[in-house]
Structures are given as structure tokens and as C-alpha cells.
Amino acid sequence: MSIGHTLLGLLESGPRHGYDLKRAFDEKFGHDRPVHYGQIYSTMSRLLKNGLVEVDGVESGSGPERKRYAITKAGITDVGQWLAQPEKPDPYLQSTLYTKVVLALLTGRSAVELLDTQRSEHLRMMRILTDRKRQGDIADQLICDHALFHLEADLRWLELTAARLDRLAQEVSA
């Protein structure tokens, strides 16, 4: 999962301090593994350097958590591109997809479109594997089948998520 894009997405609704970013991240995405402060600071300094965020104000005191960050125009474009780009259908990308869906809902982008784009990317990969299976020997068939069953599981999750978007949207905005 791209922590940079996730933090940028969280900044889209308004400027936040470092500690506020950590709190929002943990609350929305950190269910089983909260993010470290160190990761936030290193990510923010990279985003600053790349012009995707800017410092909007500094509280008195010391330490990087006192800085207030705001997303730039380039940052908004970057989030939009990330959300529009389907993920390569690899196993274990559920947390990335979940993050993307939540951020799309948070930032008023179309989560349905995101899910549809990802579905067709998954099916594209499944077609390639199915084709390879048709032409291959038994070993190819078994290897492709394994990948196909995993992709199918992802697709079922995409379908179920699409069916529950209204509820997720309510919870996310609450």
C-alpha cells in the first residue's frame, strides 16, 4: 500500500498536523498495524520535496509534528491518478484496494468506477491465465488455476464491496 498517497488523500479534505495525520490514518486504515510517527515524517518530507504538499503553518514548540501540511494542486492530481490506476492483480492487495475505496469515498470520487476499473483489470489477467492454461500442459494448468482461484476471490470481494458501498460511505463520513 502506498502510504504517501494515503496521507495525501487524507489531506485533501483540509490541512492537518503530523500528529493529526497519524490519528486519522490509524483510525481509518491502521486496524491491525498503526503507522509510526517516523514513517509519517519521512513520508511528509518526501512529499514536501516533490511539491505534493506544502507547509501551511507551524505551531510553537519543536519537532516536525508541529508542522501543519496542506496538499498542493499537484498533490491532488497525484491522488486522482493513483485512484484511477487499477492495481496489478497480485495476491494480498486487499489493504491497498480497501484504502483506495475509502479514500475515493472521502474525497468525493467515484468508488463504483474504481471498483469497475479494478474488476476489468482482474478479468484481463484472468483471461491471459485462462489462455495460457488452454495451451499449456498439466503443470501450466495447475499453476494457472491456483492464480485464477486467488483472482476470483479478489473479484468476489470487489463485487461484495460494490454492493455495500452505501453503508461504507455512511460509516466513512461519520
Binding site for another protein (CB under 8 A): 112, 116, 119-120, 122-123, 126-127, 129-130, 134, 148-149, 151-152, 155-156, 159, 163
**139 or 163: CB nearest another protein:** 163
Q: Do 30 and 7 meet the contact criterion of CB atoms below 8 Å apart? A: no
**28 or 119: CB nearest another protein:** 119
| Sheet with 67-71: strands ordered across | 16-17, 67-71, 53-58
**52 or 144: CB nearest another protein:** 144
Give the span between the Cα atoms of 65 and 13, in whole angstroms: 19
> Where does 1-72 have alpha helices with state H?
3-11, 18-29, 37-49
Give the span between the Cα atoms of 137 and 111, in whole angstroms: 40
**2 or 130: CB nearest another protein:** 130
> CA angle, 23 as apex, 166 and 98 as ends, to 5°?
35
CB of 51 to another protein, least distance (A): 34
CB of 130 to another protein, least distance (A): 4
CB of 62 to another protein, least distance (A): 53
Give the span between the Cα atoms of 60 and 137, in whole angstroms: 68
Give the span between the Cα atoms of 55 and 44, in whole angstroms: 10
Q: Collapsing DSSP states into helix, strand and coil, what is residue 3?
A: helix
CB of 2 to another protein, least distance (A): 26
**138 or 174: CB nearest another protein:** 138
CB of 93 to another protein, least distance (A): 16
